[in-house]
Structure 1
Amino acid sequence: MSRRRKAWMRDVNGILLLDKPEGLSSNHALQRVRRLYSAAKAGHTGSLDPLATGMLPVCFGPSTKLSHYLLDADKQYTVGVAVGQRTSTGDAEGGVVAHSDARPPRERMESALAGFIGPVQQIPPMHSAVHHQGRRLYEIAREGGEVERAARTVTIHALEILDWSPERFTLRVRCSKGTYVRTLVEDLAASVGTEAHVARLHRDAVSPFPGDALRTMAEIEAAAEQGAEALDALLLPPSAALADWPGVALDAARAFYLSRGEAVRVASAPSAGRVAIYGPGDVLLALGEINADGMVAPRRMMQTAAP
């Protein structure tokens, strides 16, 4: 049975770059924002732990069709690292499970960073949302259990120490999807003979969005007091999520045929690969690809009819 649309709901389309506050789960933050927008449909892309802050893209309406692609995006984090203790969760929320008196100098830590650039193997932490036999790992961990986990390959694009003290330092991380920063911190500490955990975590950016477009919960609440127009002014268009995709512009006739699911020929289109397809007025019509015949073929419609 489909959900009945509530009277207070409205159609919203766009992407909000929420600066998630500390202490809220990603889902709780999403639901709060959805209520402020009175949105009929909304979803977030890529969870942040309750203790983490920073960029949580929230997609409304047709923009939720882009969520899958944003989950695959690269991320950038600023990480506060506490040296000397490893915790059960890898962050400040867990209990201490290991101590070390070793405090490697900055030069040694910086030398170790080079060994973590590029493809690396990570074992997902028990306190993660990875599934095991139909259950989340964190559910098993909360019951005191532990299971064997297979290593996964992730890519670390860049690591940089921003400030330093022997007890605590700040690390900037740019990485691929699926990277566990908590695991990275533990593995980095182990490589120099000590223990560490994440003391604070801020997600600076999710590709391809700019880091300076974050909206705080206070900003959104203030806009809600002014009404729907002020709220919608905080949104990015769906096309913002496709800034790194090749774009194909269609005239009205080709847009009509494409809206019916038909492939169309466009002289200026790329020769292969995925494309963002725009109609008259730069309206995002569909996500598509160049098919074997060199034609622009829709794969996911962003609106049901040509403008």
Structure 2
Amino acid sequence: MFFQKKRNIHGLLLLDKPPGMSSNYALQKVKFIFNAKKAGYVGTLDPLATGMLPICFGECTKFSSYLTESKKRYHVIAKLGEKTSTSDSYGIVIQKRPVSFTSFHLDASIKELTGVINQIPSMYSAIKFNGIPLYKYARKGLNIKRSIREVSIYNIDHISQENNLIEFQVLCSKGTYIRTLVEDLGEKLGCGAHVIFLRRLQIASYSYDKLVKMSHLYELLNKEKNKDINLFKKIDHLLMPIDSPVSFLPKIYLSFQQSYYFKLGQTLNFYSKVKNSLVRVIEQEHKKFIGLGKITEELLIPHRLLSTMY
């Protein structure tokens, strides 16, 4: 093992999670590659699913909740006529029915599943009951009563259907279970359905072209691992800034003296055109992000600060 002491690194990586891997396993792999002391992922993807899995390192984890709350877009392919135990192709087929519906029936079913809808999460989800994920109960054949969840389906588009396959994209709120959405669509069409392909294309406004493959990380690491200098320079270059999860917030700039008191948690007298809003606070001299503040009237109140050790 050529790594020793874990590194304090800070920033965000948009991982392109490969299929057949849990989100937590992908996180552990990335932490190993970066030799990072602290990291966490945003928005669990099933092992079947691929695509955008944001991984926050170090101080960036303080702002991950803003991504959790964001809209998400998925590319979905479902197989019609078969209902499975897990609502995806990893499960066993528990019911088969003929596929026979009109385009009018399909359009009406899609419309019924658009907007604010109720979902009952799958037993094969990561939701915890008494501290244990539901999928662990499901694997033992146990069924736990789940609460109905209200989610928002903003749009279902790019719909195409051929034979027993249906393909579409969906833009949805946090907490949406795509497997449940597909299963509900299958029931409305009277034939049943399960997910055979799922890829997350977007979280918040992050660009799809920023995704980094696991294989690319290993490739860079293997090229550099025998060098003593700048071992992690290339992979660290892939990280986005600490404040990228809150990039939608306006910036304000403080002098060095103002920054000193702000970082101590003190409220400052501060005039800004921005009113009654959270803001990204930048230390002007070094162009360095130091935390979030809230502006009310002519005051700047510390809201979420970076560690003074950063």
What's the TM-score, normalizing by structure 2?
Answer: 0.91
Q: Are residues 1:252 and 2:256 paired?
A: yes
CA distance in 2, matches of 1:285, 1:150: 40
Cα deviation for residue 150 of structure 1 reads 1.4
Q: Are residues 1:289 and 2:286 paired?
A: no
Cα deviation for residue 287 of structure 1 reads 2.0
Deviates more, 1:118-127 or 1:267-276: 267-276
CA distance in 1, matches of 2:275, 2:215: 46
Q: Are residues 1:262 and 2:266 paired?
A: yes
Amino acid at match of 1:148: K
CA distance in 1, matches of 2:134, 2:104: 36
| SS state at 2:258 partner | helix
Q: Is the 8 A contact 1:106 1:164 kept in 2?
A: no
Q: Percent identity?
A: 35
CA RMSD of aligned residues (A): 1.8
Cα deviation for residue 269 of structure 1 reads 5.0
Mapping 1:45-60, distance limit 5 Å: 45-60=42-57
Residue matched to 2:306 = 302
CA distance in 2, matches of 1:9, 1:134: 29
- The unaligned stretches of length 5 or more in structure 1 are 1-5
Aligned residues: 300
Question: Which of these residues, 122, 138, 142, is aligned with residue 141 of structure 1?
Answer: 138
CA distance in 2, matches of 1:209, 1:91: 27
Cα deviation for residue 219 of structure 1 reads 1.3
Cα deviation for residue 106 of structure 1 reads 3.9
CA distance in 1, matches of 2:76, 2:214: 22
CA distance in 1, matches of 2:17, 2:75: 14
Residue matched to 2:227 = none
Mapping 1:87-106, distance limit 5 Å: 87-106=84-103
Cα deviation for residue 199 of structure 1 reads 0.6
Mapping 1:154-173, distance limit 5 Å: 154-173=151-170
CA distance in 1, matches of 2:15, 2:247: 19
Residue matched to 1:65 = 62
Residue matched to 2:233 = 229
CA distance in 2, matches of 1:195, 1:40: 45
Cα deviation for residue 294 of structure 1 reads 4.4
Question: Which of these residues, 77, 88, 93, is aligned with residue 74 of structure 2?
Answer: 77
- The unaligned stretches of length 5 or more in structure 2 are 225-230
Residue matched to 1:210 = 207
| SS state at 1:177 partner | coil
Residue matched to 1:278 = 282
Amino acid at match of 1:121: N
Cα deviation for residue 10 of structure 1 reads 1.6
| SS state at 2:206 partner | coil
Cα deviation for residue 119 of structure 1 reads 1.1
Amino acid at match of 1:240: S
Residue matched to 1:121 = 118
Deviates more, 1:293-302 or 1:18-27: 293-302
